[in-house]
Structure 1
Amino acid sequence: MKCASYRGKKPRRGLTPEQAAIAAVVVIALVLLLTMRANSSWTGLSCREQLYQALLVTEDWE
């Protein structure tokens, strides 16, 4: 039998869709940052220089 004092839905466990989307964006940004940091030790370019080269200088948008 159901309890008479229970009304409505049970509280959901886990992340809401909005929280899951934010967590995914944070994880992707963290992986990108760590990759750029590791690449900077190999190439000698800072993270800022890598972003500048990738977004403004390369111009390979097609």
Structure 2
Amino acid sequence: MLFSLSTPTVRRHFTLLLKSLDSPQIHVHDIRHMTATISLESGVPIADVSIGHKDIANLYR
């Protein structure tokens, strides 16, 4: 195997990227919700922005 693409590896590289860009500390999961929020604000239907939830009611919890 050339490299391992495990969750800890992704988190470590993401953290290093943020530090190199002098950006605030955020989690990878935060990007998912930020993308959903921006999509909704841009008029994308909520059913299309369900971010993996089978029931869109889960988005309001």
TM-score higher than 0.5: no
TM-score normalised per structure 2: 0.38
TM-score normalised per structure 1: 0.37
